Every structure is written in structure tokens, then in C-alpha cells.
Chain A
Amino acid sequence: MSESVKATIDSDSTGNVPGAPVTRVIKRHTLATRLWHWTNLVCLVVLLMSGLQIFNAHPALYWGEQSDFANPFIAIHARTAEDGERMGVVRIAGQAFDTTGVLGLSDDNGQLRERAFPRWATLPGDKWLTMGRNWHFLAAWIFVPLVVAYLLYILLVPQRRRALFPTWVQLKNIPRTLLDHARLRFHHEADYNGIQKLTYLLVLFGLLPVMILSGLTMAPSVNAAWPWLTELFGGRQSARTFHFLCATALIGFFVVHIALVLVSGVFNNLRSMVSGRYRIQVEAHDGSEPRHD
């Protein structure tokens, strides 16, 4: 199998040759994967926006077990500048940044008001902690069991494992794949490339578990039941900070993911996640069966 992967990667299949390249439409994603993907999108958007609503109730992050109110690691607030103007400020490890209009001080129904994240970023838009919590827990109860089920599925089904764990050839080809990405030259193949696989693994087995576990750590009843979980994160306030930082990393993943979906053939990519069908490039004289990996 590794030989055929190498052959496909080595061949220049950008389609810039005269005459249309031969392509083939394969079924890339199963119905389960597609449903999982779009349910995740809805859940993650609700989780993020309701999470920002919850954060707004106390817009400061700390390290350790408790809050050292005078010395937060990150704080978002409004203050009055020397000229009397109100300004929004983000403070990270002692450094202050002027973020007026977006963070700390933003438009709230036609008036500049102090709020960490602006109303367009929170769910609900109004300052309403309890409703933010309700949405957050509802989405979490849908999202978390699905993530756990999917992680088990990946680990238990060999076919899935092959689809997500990179081969040695793919790992070796990462520098080349990076270079191709930089040149916006994308190979449309049945298999994910090494960078894709490593990124998905990092998100699935790194960010998401930390996100879920640090979220659970914020619950006092969970603290009593599993104190080791809190200790793992170095205290409850550290867990809250990790929860926030992982959410930021997930936004980073989201942005890169969307950008690559857009530049590497948005229609083909979207179709593969909607109907499951994905067009791949094959070598012109290759009449063989599509690869089943």
C-alpha cells in the first residue's frame, strides 16, 4: 500500500497539463462521519458562544487552585483613560493591549458598555449567565458522548485507525506536503496526507480530551469525586485557564480548517462532507480499482 501512496504523491497531479486529467469520484465519508461532523459544528459553535457568555461573568483567568484577584494571568476589562475616554483593555501576563470596540468595551444595543466579549460573540447576546450555562451544558451533553464514541471507534476499528494514523511514508513526506501547501498545490487523494492526519490526531486526542476534562474539573461535585483530575491540571483555576486556552486553539484549528477547505476546492470538499462523494485525481492510464484506504 505504501508504494501506491508514494506513487500518487510523487506524481504531479495538479491538472495543469493540456487536456482534462482523469478523475474519479469516490465515497469518502460514511454517513456516520458526516452526521458527526455537522453535529459537532453546531455543538462547537454553541459551546464557544455560550462559553464566552460564562467567561463574561468573571472575565479573568488565573493559575493554581484559587483566584489571585490582584494578579490575573489574563483579564479583559474597561477603564477610563487619562483623557477621560473609556477604553477596553486586555491584560495578558502584565502587558496591556487597547481593544476598545471589541474586547472590554463594545457596542451593546447602540451604547458602548463594559463587557469582556461583545454581544455578537456570546450566546445569548444579553448578559445572562444562567442561560449561557444552560446552552453550554445542553451542547456538552450532545458533544461529549459523541466525541467519546468517535474516539473509541477510531481506536477499535482498524480501518478507521488506518484512515487517521499516518504511515511512515506520509510522515517522511511531511516537509514536501508543507511545501505543496505553501504553494497552494493540493493533491486530491482518497487518503489524508501526513499533516492532515497529525492535525486531526492532535485535535481528537489532545485538544478535545483536555477541553472536556478541564470542563469537568470546574464542577465542584466532580472535584470531590475525582480529585486527581483537578490535580492533573494544577488546580481549579488552572483548569479554567486551560479550558479557555484550548478553546482558543480550537478556534485556530477552525480558521485553518476553513481556509484550507476554501482554497483546496471548496465544492469538492463540501460535497464530500454532505453527500460523502469526493473527486480524486488518478493517473491518466490508471484503470485500476480505487484504493480502499
Chain B
Amino acid sequence: MSVMSPFARFSTAPAKVGLYDPAYDKDACGLAMVATLRGTAGHDIIQTALSALTNLEHRGAVGSDAGTGDGAGILTQMPDAFLRAVAGFELPAAGGYAAGLVFLPTDAEERAVAKAGFEKLAVEENLEVIGWREVPVRPEVLGDLARNAQPFIEQVFVAPTNGASGIELERMTFRLRKRSERTLGIYHPSLSSRTIVYKGMVTTLQLEPFYPDLSDERFASTLALVHSRFSTNTFPSWPLAHPFRMIAHNGEINTVKGNRNWMRAREAQLASEALGDLKQLSPIITPDGSDSASFDEVVELLYLAGRSLPHAMMMMIPEAWEKQTDIEPARKNFYDYHSMLMEPWDGPAAVIFTDGSLVGATLDRNGLRPGRYVITDDGLVVLASEIGVVNIDPAKIVRKGRLQPGRMFIADTVSGRLIDDDEIKSEIASLEPWGEWLEANRIKLEELPEREHIAHTASSVNRRQRTFGYTQEELRVLLAPMAKTGAEPVGAMGSDTPIAAISSRPRLIFDYFVQQFAQVTNPPLDSIREEVVTSLGTGIGPEGNLLKATPEHAQQISLSFPVLSNDELAKIKHIDEKPGAGSAFTVEGLYRVDGGADALAARIREIFEEVDQAINEGAKYLILSDRDSNRELAPIPSLLLTSAVHHHLIRTGRRTMVGLVVEAADAREVHHIAALIGYGAAAINPYLAMESCEQMVKDGLIEGVTIEKASKNLIKGLGKGVLKIMSKMGISTVSSYSGAQVFEAIGLSQEFVDTYFTGTVSQLGGIGIEVIHEEIAARHKSAYPIDESTNVHQQLEVGGEYQWRREGPAHLFSPETIFKLQHSTKTKSMDIFREYTRSVDDQAENLMTLRGLFTLRTGVRPAVDINEVEPISSIVKRFSTGAMSYGSISPEAHETLAIAMNRLGAKSNTGEGGEDVERLLDPTRRSAIKQVASGRFGVTSMYLTHADDIQIKMAQGAKPGEGGQLPPNKVYPWIARTRHSTAGVGLISPPPHHDIYSIEDLKQLIFDVKRANRAARVHVKLVSQVGIGTVAAGVAKAKADVILVSGHDGGTGASPLNSLKHAGTPWELGLAEAQQTLMLNGLRDRVTVQVDGQMKTGRDVVIAALLGAEEFGFATAPLVVEGCIMMRVCNLDTCPVGVATQNPVLRSRFTGQADHVVNFFEFLAQEVREYLAALGFRSIDEAVGHAEMLDMNRAISHWKADGLDLSPILAGPVFAATENRSRVTTQDHELEKHFDHKLIAASKDALSSGKPVTIDLPITNVDQAVGTMLGNELTKAFGVEALPEDTITVNLTGAAGQSFGAFVPKGIKLSLTGDSNDYVGKGLSGGTIVVKPHANSPFLAEENIIAGNVIGYGATSGKLFLRGIVGERFLVRNSGAIAVSEGVGDHALEYMTGGVAVILGRTGRNLGAGMSGGVAYVYKLRGDRVNHDALAAGELHVGPLEAADATKLEDILKQHVAETGSALAKRILDNFAAEVEHFVRVLPRDYASVLSIREKAVANGVDPDSSEVWEQILEVTRG
């Protein structure tokens, strides 16, 4: 009988149903660690920790059942005295026994069985149960959901029968605990002689009341970890609350799927004398656990097997050592060596950990989670996600610090001292001669003997191109540009071709896999600007026993890049020529194509045997090759072969004995390479892609590069593209991406996926190996035709994925549909419009979309008379146009949409480019929806105040997980003005919002913008992918008003081609999953659900409504109505119809009219009415969520769609008729509780008449976005002119919560004495913010932390004076504010486009990455801290200050002293003439040139916005 996992057992989550799967649950949180260095335990530590927890409440979440929290807990030292007092039986001496809570079945009989079983197991492990104690609990404080899932909680006490103690005893209890959970299905929050955990499905406020034990004065410890969980589901589980046995974690392990697989693969080789027979404990990683739970299990294993806890942490979360220049060699060697034992557990993370005496904390390599600490003069250490969680007298605080990326913070409660990062790491780095081991054993590819290059003939290349289905388009559009430039090409306007699952053409197996990407719960990375934290290096070859470290562990080939040239592969193939290096075995990935699917399956099984045999014979490298296909033997798709072998080896426990290298002809796109790595390949040799490029160079089809360079470029383009795909998922190293399986399958049968791609999600079923074979056979047949002359001129298929071709796949927008749409709306002809919609909808032959497979079930309900259906005028109000920025499309195109939508009472969207005040205030030309995207262009108090809806773009359908760029030549003067930037200087929208690295951060931004405009609805825009349901639930819990689900296929101005085609899923899936999950969670009634993505017809709208959407977005279709003809060159500024261009010549060709757009939406609404009438609904409201009115019919006769099962979309969970399927209420934003009400009341005079006021108030960390609502009031009253500076002066004392002073406009000064958390001055819009320490603080301000991460993000104007050091990403995307700080973390001034930064202290790495404007004055700047690429390319000028700079700096410093009393600034000013020499100026080159050109123009009386000046600017900025 299989034992139910305790994670599932004590959880409230429903089982998988419809598209809902509890496995997608994500969490993020607040955490804190409290310790004392005084050496004695006390209850005060517990109390301090619990109060810190209480102050983290806002970082957790509650669901629909307001009383049920997502989980909280505490880990402390063993409270021996307390337990001794309450156990009710004799306990051995402290340290001589172990105890822990046990989550037991509530059924008494089951419980008795479990306890007996446990006692029996204990005996087997030389332990004796000395007693059980029923733990007092107060379920009445819990919410219903939590109470219903509550286990029976007892405490068990065990003692060794062999006298063991210390770590030896820990190992015994570990074994017992694991075996108990595996065989009895009960859960042990902990079982240790050193520590104890109390946790559960409680809110932060409920933890202590629920466990009265915690209030007992005798309950004492020198340390405590606490944690508050924010789960995206409302179905938290008791065991998944933190802390776990050794850690608590705020973050998300993006690579967890791979990490788990790799651990499983290693299990067979695990051996530890200390831990005994590990087979009994298998699997090491418990199924159904969270990422944090799995992480904890591995840390614990490493620790108990003999490594120190910091050592284990360094293995699992290594700092970004690969590209760090100033790291000591021994430490680098340590990381390098250990990278061969284990891949990083990659993702944003703040982890606190303890072994019972040492407590520590560490951050991920990129510092994506906050961690702040204070140390008092009496040895109290408090570290938490936020500052201010514990109220401490400022006079007692001797140090304030922050966790730094990749750095460790350790307190030793026994020796009573802090151990700094360098000390602990140096000590560990010197444990063994790692460097010598590497030197002696590691194989470097470049050191292997060179091989002669083999050139292939044109006909051979062509034959194989056909075998692998290459198209002319792929050569032209994908490969040639990569070979020429070394970068993946960019396309525009999304994808409107059928997904592979329903394509009528043979598709590569890669096409059935969709990339996953980070949204909301973790951030994508900026792999370009923050490349410093990434690594494409990997080792291939066998791994040794993870629990040991020997020189032989280093016997691997190290690769710096995951894509190999033919010559490099040849070296690996011939590796046996190097003595001692082992041998490589090449697998012929071919099968007899005439044997059909059976032959394919049989060949794969045969390959398994060959591989096993080869490993037995000592092969260390497996090369999976499809090189030798011929007339009889067809290639097995490389991805299928790779994953099949990978999983076979995992299953048989031999995966880590060999490295997998793939020699593949079918791999030719970035996506293909990424998929191969994602399913276990260490490196890929895409030989045919390279040979194709070589051939094109020879044929003169690629000009300007040599054959060698073309191949190199291709390799570079593919590798860099993989890095970008990894970053979309927030993964920074290829070694942890390998095997991470961050893909979902669409259109593959579950059986097929389970067999060959184990662990991959395939929501809709689909084809199996038979059709895969048919697709291979079709390609093979075209490569080996019976008669060559039949299609003698057609060397390859034409293609047509990226550009419409008649022979290619169908596109929703074809010449016919474009023409009919334009003509019907221009001439206001409903008949022709119906022809248009008919051609789009009529998919009987093409099956282009999932919705095309549905039919509407008319006749189920009685049809209603169309006159009874709600009118066009009410339906159109649910329509909006997509977020297309002013900048990506022309002013004419943008305004035309806005005018049309305003006329209809519908909504247009600003996109991310801001909005001119002049339009902002014009009711006919404004856009009702204001977007807030990662670039934050022009996001000011004014902009937010005048929004009807505020849309936070988390991801974009065409390129989820990626940022964007507006190239210099599109930043025309009028665009620059709106975006608060500089004409002719390129602009970057980063992949992540740098103030949203987690769900609680999103909650924060929603909180902030809601306070910037209480009347506006806040949207969160998500892109459809598997798991979107739980993300949507999380977003609903984060209090979004509207959730927008975007399909994967939406248009865009520019996107890498792989993203257009391979990331995200159709909205039908995402919408249905979101609807089902929101309903299951009881959250649907409080949010509006909107959908967009290639919506074109009334039928689309009605289907979307039936699947759960209430509002509908359109982008491409209205653009086409305006004249767009799907040129797909938006990125080139050459749009010939003036839609997606800023070029005045082309703009003059724009012919779109608002009337036409109005016609379009009215026609659409009319069609909707007709469908509603036929279905028997009188309004959209009535129809929302009635998925039962859909039927699937079309799949039946299609050769591929046959196996598709759409029922999860339609069926889903069963809901009662009474349950709300659409929004009926609103979120409780608790606006009335906001701090600012006090400020607004006190500012009455200022707000009415501009009379200056001064306010003094205390503040704590739970007071967030202070000043924002006041700012909104001021903006409402005074508009863009605001008030004179400092009209309202607010003096605050204490620790400010997050987003202090967000969007504060001119006229407000916030002056804080104390310190502040993250996001100070977010979107600062003219106000002044001052933060300074208490006057009686004993520490030096300039050496301590005053504010957290991401200060001044997106600030457009105003001033920031910060007396002290701040965290990472200072002034990201500042476009106009002046800011001073006394030290900064990594990535300061990233993407800055304007304003002035003054940094008076140390800086972290990577300063000025992507900085394209503004100026920084940095004191004693170390050159190696500046972004390397920008320096190397000369994009940033770093040099001495000019006279004008010095004057400006002096003035700013004087203000800084005046506002903060900065001693440091004063010292500098005192000796300014000499000190100014220590400053350097950081100035972007193009920005400087443009300013000087424009200044000269003005001086010469020339309009700086004239086309003549523009030409001059472009000449400079184009380089």
C-alpha cells in the first residue's frame, strides 16, 4: 500500500481537477531571525521573534476565508527546561534526548497505529520513545479552512539506547524521522536534540495564541527563526509552513524540478558511513513538498553527512563567483570544484538557517530578496525581511546592515560573536586543496588535441536539411541573421499561426514544448545588464558520491559554453586518446523508418540497453547523435532521444555516471537548444545549422562574414539566446537550467510524456509516438523522394511561420481577412464584416486555434429575442485596446484609438510610454488605462491620478519574461518628452519590475498605486501558462481589482523570434485555469477577469466570456482597422502605413480614422449580441463562466487533434449554480486605514490654499507608501504645477514601511528620522524625501544602512537625501530626480536616463549597467565596479568632474548637509577643493553628445526638435 504523503495529508488543497493542479502553488514570504550573543537563553528571544513575526503580517496573505493564514512558524533551540517541566515524565539530561512535534491523524485509531509504528521504527534505529505529550492548542483562533485540515498535534520524546549524543544523535533521529514519514505518512516538523519547530496553517498573529507553549516564560532559547508565508493558493498546508528543520526561506527555487531530478539521479551513488543505509530513507526528497521543503531536505542531508551548515549552503546557493574578479582564488576553486558535485539551487532566495547554535542567513547570487539586520550593544541580533520589525531603542543599535547578494551572515550563539562572510568562507575554502584537485583532474576542452575540420557538400547539406524539415524561411529568417550578427533575430506582431498540436503540417517535437517564464512569484532576470550574475559554463562527465569530496570528483570536462562546434565535439568523441580521461560512446539515434512507430519505440529501448552496456564498459560521455541518417534510417528527434535517455538513466540511478552531449541536426533555433538543455543535455552540437550557415556563406547568401565567423556567430547567438530563455525563468546558470524541465507540453499525450519526458505537464493530452513517427516519416520522405524531378525547383519547403506564405501554415490574419476587415470598417458594411469574421472563424479546414475546436451549444437554453439582449452601447464598454505605447506606434495611430474608445465609452491603453499632460487632461484623446510597466516611463503622480484603470504589466504575451527596448532612432523628441528621457538615446524596459521580485512585492505595488489613485481599478496583466491559476489566485489575494490573462500570441513591437513562437500558451487555457482556480479558492467574486490575445471576432468574445472573462482586449485587429497591414517591421521604424513608426514621412501616410475603429467595435458587439441571443443569454454578465455552453467537435477528424482532450478546459471542477462566476463585490483595500489620512487632515490648509504646513508623527514598518495618498490629493488639487517645494513638510520618526514617499509630487517633503525599507521614493514625482538616523545613534551613519533596495525606482523628478548606505539597485530607471546616498549595493543607476546621483561611499558591482542618461558623481569610485560592457564599449564616460559639475555637486552636498546633517558630506565640503578630485563623473556618452548638440542648436537659434538637429543626433547615437 502506498503511503499518503504528509504534505498532501495535512493540506486543504483540492485534488487536481480540470486545469487546476495544486502542484503549481508558489509562495513567498517574510522571515526573521533573532539571536543573542550574550550566551544565555531566554524567553525574551522567543517574544522578540514572535513580535517580529507580527510586524511581518503584511508580507503574508489571507485568502477568501479571512481567518486562515498561509502558514507561520518558529524554530528555536530545544527549550529543555520548559519541556522538562511539562513533559510529565522524566527526561534524560539535556542533549541526551530528542523531541519534536508530530502531526498525527485526527482519527484516534489511525493515530494509535501510527504511534505504534513509530515506536517500532525507533527501536530499529536504536532509539526509544520515552513519552508522548499532547501539545496544548487553541483551534478556536484558527479560520475554518485551517481548522478543518488541522492534524492532531503531539510531541514525541526519544532517547538513544546507545548513549549517542550531539550530531550522532541528530543522525539517528534523522533516520527515524525519514523512515517514519516514508512508511507511516505522519509529519514531523522537527525531531532533534538541538532545535524544535512550532508551525502550522496559521496567520502570524495566530501562531502564539494557537500554541500556548510559546507564551510560557520557561520556553527559552538563544536563537529563533520565524516565518510568515504568502501562498498563491488559499489552500495552504500544515506541513508546508516554515521553518523546516534547518531553514526558513523567502524565495522560489526556479530550478527545483531539475534539482529534484538530479538528487534522485544521485541517490544510487549516495553513500555515507555516518548516515548508514540510505536506501531506507529514499527518496531523499519527499514528493509533494514545496521547493523550500526540498531544499531543506538536501541541506540537512549534506550537513548530517559531515559538512558544516555554511559549507552546505555554499554548495547549494553559491555566490556569483564565475565572473567575479576580486574573489580570492581558494574560494573560487571551492565553488568551481563543488559545481562538479552539485548544480546551484537557483532562484531568488533569502534563507535563514541554524544548526542549533550557529544561525545564519544568505541571499541568492543576485540579491533578489531583502534582508536587513541590526545589532545592539547588548548582543541582540535581529535580521528580517524588513527593518523595524522589532522596536529597539536607537541608542542601543551599534550596527545596521543588510544581507548582500551571495553573502552570508553568521552569528555564533555559543562563542557569542558574529562571523563575517569572508572569514567563514575562507575557512571553508581552505578545507581541502580544491584548486590542486581541479588542476590535476579536470579536462579542458581547449587542451585536447585539435581535429581537422570536415566540410560537407552542398547536396549533402540540402539532403539533410530536408530530412530535418528545414524551410527556406528558417534559413533566411532565423539562421542567416544569426550567422551574420551573432544574435537571435527579432520579429514583431506576435504569432497567428496554429500551435503545433493542431497544425496540419509536420512539426518538430520541439514545437510541442512551451517555455515557462517567471511572472509575479519570482522575477525574470536581465541577462544583458546583469550578466555579471549569470554563467553559461558547465561541466560534463560523471559525478561522484555527493556526500564525499575526493580529487576524482573533479574528473569532468569543463565547458564555458553549452553549444559546441563540430570540431569541439570531435574532440569529445575522441577523448579516449587522452589517457585517463575516460571514453565517449556515440549513440546512433536512428531507426528504420519503414518499421513505423513500433520501430521507433523499439529502437529507443534498444538504445537504453546500448547505453547501459556502454556505462558498464566505462563510458563517461554519451554522445546522442543523429548524424548518419540515410534512405532507410530516419533520425529520432533529438529532444525525444535526449529526454528518453536522461530519464532512463535517472530511473536506473546511473544518470550522474555519464555526461550527455547531443549531436543534433534538428536543433537550429534558440528554443531547440534550450529545450535540449532543459531535458538533460550538457551541451549541444547543432551541426546541420552550422553547416547550413557555412553553405549560405559559400553561396553568397550571407555576406560580410567568413565561414568560420558564421559558425562562431551562430554558436554565440544560440548560446546567448539560451541565456535569455533561462533568464525569462529567473535562472542564472546553465548548470542548474540543465534538466530543470521548465517547459510544459501542449498536444502530447500524457502517456507519451510520462514515458519520455517524465514530470512534464501536458494539460490537454494529444499525440503519441505514432504521430511523432508520421511527422518524421513525412520529412524523411521529402528528403528521399521517389523522383527528384517532381519538385526539382523546390529544394526546401517555403515555410511561412513568421511571414505569411500561401504554401505555409494558415495565419488568422491573411491577405483576405486583412482586406475584408479594413474594407468593412471603412465602408461601414456589416455584411463584409461578417465575411471577415466568417473567414476567421471558419476553421473547419485549418483548426487554427483551440477556440476553433469549440462549438457553441445553442439549443440548450431557449434562444432569446435579439431585442432583449443588452445593447451594443453597453457591450462595447467591456472592450479595451491593448497596451501599445506611444513610441511603439505613431501619435496618430495612438490617438485615433483613444478617440474611438472614448467615443464608445470603452478604454484605450497608454502602453508603457507615459502620456503627455496635454492629452492626459483631454477627455477625448486620453487613454483611460494607464500602464505601469517595468520601464516606468512617465509614471508620475499626475499620470496615476488621472487614470481610470492602472495596469501593472507583469508580462506580455509576445515575449513573457522579457523586457524591451526602444532603439535610439525611435526616441524622437516628442517621444522623449513623454517618457522623460532624451531624444535619440535608446531606452530599456527591463525584464523584471525591479520592485516586484515576489508576490508580496506585487501586493506592495498594488498597494502603492491604489494609494496614488483610490478611484482607479488596478489591473495585473499576466500571460497564460500552466500554473497561471494559482498565480491569479495569488494576485487576487494581493488585491488586484482586475486580472488580465493574455494569450501567448499577442502582438508586440519587437520580440526575439523564439519568444513569439515558444513561450506561453493560448488564452483559452490560461483563462479557463484562472477561472477554475479563482472559483475553487472562493476569490472569483472580488476580481474582474479580462482577456486578450489575437481576439478578432464576436465568436472569440463569446467564447472568452463563457470561459470566464468579463472584459476583452484587442490590439492587432483595431490596428489593422487603422491601416496596419501586418508588415511585421514595427521594430524597424519603417512601417509603410504610418502605424508603427515615428518617422514623419511615414506618419504622413497614416490614414486610419476613429470612425472606422468605432465601426469595428460596434460590429463586434453586434455579433456578440447575436451569439448571446442564440445561446439564450440576455447579457454578457449572464454568460460569464458558463463553459458548459461550449462543446468540442472539430478535433475529431484531424490527424493530430485526434488525441487532444479539451475537457479540462470545459469541465473543470463542478460548481453550484449559486456560486459566483464573475465579479460581484470589490476588494477590501483597507484604504481607510492608511497612514496618510492623518497627513491629509493635517494638510487641509495646504491642500485648499497652498498654505505651508508642518506635521510631526511617529511611524513604523507597517506604515507603507506613506505620503502617496497625500500626494494624490495634492495632484488632484493642483495638477501638474503642484505646489512650491516643501509646502507640506512631514517630519517622521521611526522605521518607515516599504515604498516610503512613493510618487510624491512637488510641494511635499517627507523627512524621516530612523530608517526605511525598500522602494523609498518609488516613482518620485517632484517631492523631497530625507532619511537620516536618530541623532543619538551611536554608529557612524555612513557605514550603516539607512534604506533598503531599489530606492528611487522610476523617479521622474524630486530630491532624495539619504544619510547612510542603501541596498541594491539604487536609482534604477531614474529619469530626473536628484539623489544622494552614502554608499550603495550592486547594480546602482541601472537603466538611468536622467537626473543626478551623488554617491559618497562604496558601491557594489555593476554600477551604471544600461545607464543611458543623467549623471552620477561618485566618491572614490572603483573602476572594476562599473558595468564592464558599458565601459568597454565606451557607452559610459568615467572621468574627472568639470567645473560646472563641481559647482553642481557642491550645491547638492550643501543641501544634503542641511537636510540630514551628514558628517561625511560636511567633511567633504570642508575640504572641497581637494576632495572634489576624489570624485568621478559617470556620464553616458550618447546622452552627453545629444545634450551638447541640442544646446548648440539652441545657442544658434535652431529648434532643437527640428529634423536637422534630429539627423545630427542620430548620426551620433547610431555610433
Real binding pair: no
